[in-house]
A and B are shown apart, each in its own frame.
Chain A
Amino acid sequence: MGIIYLLLFFSLIIAAAFLWAFLWSNSDGQFDDVEGPAMRMLRDEKSPKSSTNS
């Protein structure tokens, strides 16, 4: 059963890595607007001017 300790340790490390990834992306502002970027990427960029206006 000693292997359980090792498994526990590794699973914790993986979980902590994901938590860190979430916290980092959150503080980076990736969840500020979860809908806008999806629409924006579908739009053609005709000129740099029009994309800054809207």
Chain B
Amino acid sequence: MTFVAVNPMSENCHFCEQPITSGLKIESDNRAFCCNGCAMADAMLNNRQAVGPGQKLLQRYAHLVVAGAQEGLQVYNADQASWRVQLPDIHCSSCLILLERMSEWLEGVLDVRVDFSAKRATIQFNPETLSIAVLAAWLDYVGYPPSLISAKERKRQDFSKLGIAGFAMGNAMMSAFPEYFGLDSQGHVGLLTVFRWSTAVFATLSVVVAGISYLQNAFKAIRSRQWSLDIPIAVGMIALWSWSVYELLAGLSGGYFDSLSGLIFFLLLGKMLQERTYAAFSFERTVKDFLPLSVYCQRVEGFLKLDQLVPEDNITIQEGGIIPINVKVNHPISVDYSFLTGESAPVHLDVGQTAYQGGRVLHKPLLGKVLDNIAEQSTSDLWKEEDYGTTGWVSASITAWFTSTVLILSFFGGLVWYFVAPERAVEIAVSVLIIACPCALSLAAPFAYGTASALLSKRKLYLKSGRAVADLAAVQVAMWDKTGTLTQKGLDKSELSLTSEDAAAVLFIANTSIHPVAQSLVTSLSGIASQTPQTFIEIKEVSGKGLEAKGRDSTFWRIGSGNWIGQPPGPTYIEKNGEILGAFTPEWTYRPLQSMFKSLDKLGLTNVLISGDQPRDLPKEWNQFFKDRLHFSCSPKEKRALVEQYKRGMYLGDGLNDVEAIDAALVGLAVVDNVLGYFPKGNGVIFSEALPNLPEFLRYAKRMKRWTKGAYLLSLFYNIAGIGFALTGQLSPVVAAILMPISSITVVLFSTAGAYLLAPKG
């Protein structure tokens, strides 16, 4: 006999399967939903709502037809485009589900990715079947009208609002002063009335012009039955205003109009100040600085960091490499944009066409000219692909719980005060509503971990997201790839005696490949080759065999294995026009990591070796670190399976043949000797020279986790103390509005300072 636990009191949403808060239930087609978004999403995905945007909506967005004229719109190809658009109405997880599954209910949409915290979506679509105007109309129709004004425009609007709020506050306070200073109603009735009414007019102006966004947001949240943090503020504003109007009309007093206008001004000012602070500490915006991206640039005949490239620079990107910057290609080539668009069919480009950043180069290396300055392109989008931004740290249910608690506390606080001192009841209820803000709660973790990852990047561990730091703190198992990770490749230079002209050519050819052998050749030749190499018509990588190149002076080059070139197997040969210039055998040596393994042992980590090689030549002294947890001859798939066995595991590999394993691990890191390119999978990249510091990094991550808990406690303390002061009548709404942003900012400072203080030296 089986039992199914059924709780008759709680019902789950038909769509998102979250329990429905009683009183917020929406029924449609005999199904119960927790919010309108879910009901809509369900109807859309099950095709039960076959209508669409009407003429009116289509008309509204008809002007969007011109491709490229819209900010954030990028057209890759005739049938592939992406639109990064601000959708201010995104508010809950069902929004995310509905939008990210857009390709299932709207033809022409390829993929949608939502950045929840930024309220922004990146939509990949096919402009042939779906015009941008229709797409915009659909977005509006399902409840997310795209915001088409630019960031600059929005900033100006905010400034204007702040200016008006400041003007209103100054004048409202000015005209409220006489009453404070004892202008009594006996002698100067006329004057008093004028001052009271002028205060009221200014405060009302402030509400209508500057405070309206809080009311609108709260209204939207209520309409879609979501708890939002704007609700308490909106309730507070309405309560203060209507109570003041009552007192004014009844002739009791001038009301709280001066407080109200001050409140709005300080709310807006605080919001702006907060945004400034966040921008100053923003770890996201500096992503470019710590991306270890560099490309081979002909101008300097070597690798250059992306931000040092200038337009018209000739660059080479290896086969299989990801294009880091928009380039005009010098020869026909295929590019795979699946990483961006989810569409796996490669795009063929002709000479002079643009290859967009984020595409993967297929079949042969790409030679091209840099189009624009890196500063004008956002690389962060690619790198951050799997980052969850600031969401995911504080869930919607906590927000709901918090908001409702604040509303209840404020109501009962006001009620109690009504019996003690009726004239203060409204004021106190409002200050409770204003002071309580879980913002600080939601900011602690993103800022602590975000800063930590930025600091780690200075120590040559480049993590993609702040979240990875939290994951790093949880790591208990370290899994190691052998070749290229524990070992490094050395090359005896004496084996090669090339003329400097030949060396330059070989260096150039080898540079087009990310194969370890080719790269070891690059390392050893970089010192010798001083000449500008000849130009090549074609360079091709023959997978598993070697490299083939045709020079403009009709030379023919091959660098590769013995069987391929027709020589005894073993070393790698360099051949020019059928003549062997030299052969070399890269040697594998173990990196000096013994002391690092000892420290890892001390930290209590389990080390596991997962190698694709034959079980041979692991030095005896290394065995003690792995204690027979050795896996040899693993295929990439077997590696993945092994990694999946170890929960809370970290995988370190060279990022070439173990992409799968890196992806599967809780923390997957690619170990690199020099900077090469993107590693789309995994959580980050670590430079081999930083490997000895890995135990330090882990310890740092653990400490940061504890520090973040401290930051949580701090913000909890702020809220409890703030509400306590407000309830006991020691805070006026204006002071509350000033204190609220200060508490958020101190939590941010605390988190950031912790990340700096605890950071490993060096």
Contact = CB atoms under 8 A, between A and B. Distances in A.
Interface string A5-19: 100100110011011
A29 B191 contact: no
Contacts of B170: 15
A8 B198 contact: yes
A23 B198 contact: no
Interface stretch (B129-137, B153-161, B229-237): B153-161
Interface in A18-48: 18-19, 22-23, 26-27, 29, 31-32
Contact of A8 (B152, B159, B194): B194
A29 B194 contact: no
Given A1-B191, A4-B191, A8-B194, A31 B171 contact: no
B194 A5 contact: yes
A33 to B, nearest CB: 10
A13 to B, nearest CB: 12
Contact of B163 (A4, A11, A22): A22
B167 interface: yes
A26 B152 CA distance: 11
Contacts of B194: 5, 8
B171 A12 contact: yes
A23 B163 contact: yes
Interface in B120-177: 152, 155-156, 159-160, 163-164, 167, 170-171, 174-175
B167 A31 contact: no
Nearest to A22: B163
Nearest to B158: A26
Interface residues on A, range: 10 to 19
B487 to A, nearest CB: 46
Given A4-B191, A8-B198, A15 B156 contact: no
Contacts of A8: 175, 194, 198
A22 B165 CA distance: 12
A5 B192 CA distance: 11
Contacts of A11: 174
B188 interface: yes
Nearest to A28: B156
Contacts, number: 35
Contacts of A16: 167
B212 to A, nearest CB: 16
B201 to A, nearest CB: 10
A12 to B, nearest CB: 7
Which of the listed residues B152, B159, B170, B175 has the most CB atoms from chain A within 10 Å of its own CB? B159
Interface in B158-210: 159-160, 163-164, 167, 170-171, 174-175, 188, 191, 194, 198
B167 A15 contact: yes
B162 to A, nearest CB: 9
A23 B415 CA distance: 42
Contacts of A27: 156, 160
Nearest to B195: A8
Contacts of A19: 163-164, 167
Given A4-B191, A8-B194, A29 B167 contact: no
Nearest to A4: B191
Contacts of B156: 26-27, 29, 31-32
A52 B174 CA distance: 48
A16 B168 CA distance: 10
Contacts of B175: 8
B152 to A, nearest CB: 6
Which of the listed residues B155, B163, B191, B194 has the most CB atoms from chain A within 10 Å of its own CB? B163
Contact of A31 (B159, B174, B191): B159
* Closest 6 A/B residue pairs (Cβ): A19-B167, A22-B163, A26-B159, A26-B160, A23-B160, A26-B156
Interface of B: 152, 155-156, 159-160, 163-164, 167, 170-171, 174-175, 188, 191, 194, 198
11 contacts: A1-B191, A4-B191, A8-B175, A11-B174, A12-B171, A19-B163, A19-B164, A19-B167, A26-B163, A27-B156, A32-B156
Interface of A: 1, 4-5, 8, 11-12, 15-16, 18-19, 22-23, 26-27, 29, 31-32
Given A4-B191, A8-B194, A32-B156, 13 more contacts: A1-B188, A5-B191, A8-B175, A12-B171, A15-B170, A15-B171, A19-B163, A22-B163, A23-B160, A26-B160, A26-B163, A27-B160, A32-B152
